[in-house]
Amino acid sequence: MLKDTENDDFEPSDITDSLGGFTLNIIARDSAKLPKVIIKTDSNEGCVDSFTNAKPGMLTLRAPMDASVITPLTTVAIEIASVYLITVERAAELILESIGLAEESIDSDLIFKIDPFQKLVIDGDDSIATVAYASVNVANAISMISSLLYGAGTSSKAEAEAATLLAFAKRIGDTNLVLRKKRRILLKKYTKRLNVSDSSDISSIISSAVSVVSRTSPDVRVDTAAKNAVAQASASASSYLLSTNTTSESYSGEAISKICAAAVKVLQDPELLEAIFDLGRDAETMEESTLIRDLQSSATMSAKYETAKASVSVVIPQYPSPPSPPPHPPPPLTIPMTLTSSDAVAPPFPKWTIWWLSCLTLTIALAAS
């Protein structure tokens, strides 16, 4: 777990440009103390998703220091690694197993090193579509479930999101791993995987998240009808995305990206998340809110996704190369490293890309472990 999630004086930070580009300057001697990058979308009111031009649903994203992208899946991978005391690479593999990738295709680089939307739009490679869909589905579900729990009585949206993230991590980890508490060795692997298209699976994650928050907020209660409405919305969105995946030969990489962005625009719409918050606070609002009633109709939601496709804009930034290292670097203890979102990287300057959640004004902080 991160010991410090605040932007302390010793943690470098930056605000992104309109497409998510940022640069962090780090003294080499401090790099070992700062193993993770944290993106905080709630630190500035002007933060928007560049694809949808709407405020992101997730408050925080994380990635390991040596990752090239920061996404919902890198965030889940860090949580899994923390819970089960495994490497982030193994955690990433568990996620890929859970979403059904063939064993020969499983590689942690698919989560930590590859921007799926760049592959889809720039490279025209739709083989990465499954990973893109998974990230969108996880982000949508976490956003909605967090709003529901916050309305139900958690102390903050951040607490609700942390509980939801833990519930997802345990769902994926418990499915693939059984750990002996004392020896911490792998005993058994299960074949059943997370099915985000199954409302009962999402419902069980909501129940797990409620159980987590009840330790610190014992009064949190989620009405069954409210839980089912959110679970159904998440599942129907996943079904919509996956139905396009089965006919991916009919879609270009850009079209697939727009489908993903449309699902984000609909399910992370601030008005919808506010309605879900109200639903968590009072289940009777289900009958009063058109937005909540719409969640229960797959046909209505599909129509909303199709409408949203016309309003999203998938722009993949092309950043210039970072500056070259100085010809005569200073002593090792004071060599600065630059983290940048550029495409071409000259060592020792690692590449960073904020994936679909590129924000207009968004604060990034490196946190000590």
Distance CA 6, CA 3 (A): 9
In tens, the pLDDT along 241-264 reads 877 665 545 678 888 899 999 999
Sign of CA dihedral 34, 39, 42, 44: positive
90 pLDDT higher than 60 = yes
Q: Is the pTM of this model over 0.85?
A: no
pLDDT grade for 5, boundaries at 50, 70 and 90? very low
Tokens coding 120: 């889809």
In tens, the pLDDT along 205-250 reads 999 999 999 888 888 889 888 898 899 888 888 888 877 665 545 6
* Listed ranges 94-103, 221-230, 281-290; the one with the highest mean pLDDT: 221-230
The contacts found for 318-321 with CB under 8 angstroms, 24 or more apart, are 318/343, 319/21, 319/343, 321/345, 321/346
Cβ count within 10 A of residue 181: 5
SS3 293: helix
Tokens coding 226: 């409210």
Of the two residues 364 and 200, the one the predictor is more confident about is 200
CA-derived radius of gyration, the chain: 20
> Nearest Cα to 142, choosing from 41, 37, 88, 72?
72
Distance CA 67, CA 99 (A): 20
Q: Which parts of the chain fold into alpha helices (H)?
A: 72-84, 88-98, 109-112, 116-121, 129-152, 157-176, 199-213, 224-245, 253-267, 270-281, 290-295, 298-309
Burial per residue of 92-104, b for 16 or more beta-carbon CB atoms within 10 angstroms, e otherwise? bbbbbbbbebeee
Q: Residue 93: its pLDDT value, please?
A: 92
For strand 36-40 and strand 363-367, is the pairing parallel, antiparallel, or unpaired?
antiparallel
The contacts found for 170-179 with CB under 8 angstroms, 24 or more apart, are 170/83, 170/208, 171/201, 171/204, 171/205, 171/208, 172/76, 172/80, 172/94, 172/95, 172/98, 173/80, 173/83, 173/84, 173/91, 173/94, 175/98, 176/94, 176/97, 176/98, 177/84, 177/86, 177/94, 179/84
C-alpha separations of 128 from 106, 201, 313 in Å: 12, 24, 20
> Nearest Cα to 141, choosing from 204, 84, 215, 97?
204
In tens, the pLDDT along 125-183 reads 888 888 999 999 999 999 999 999 999 999 899 999 999 999 999 999 887 665 444 34
**Where in the chain are the domains?**
59-313
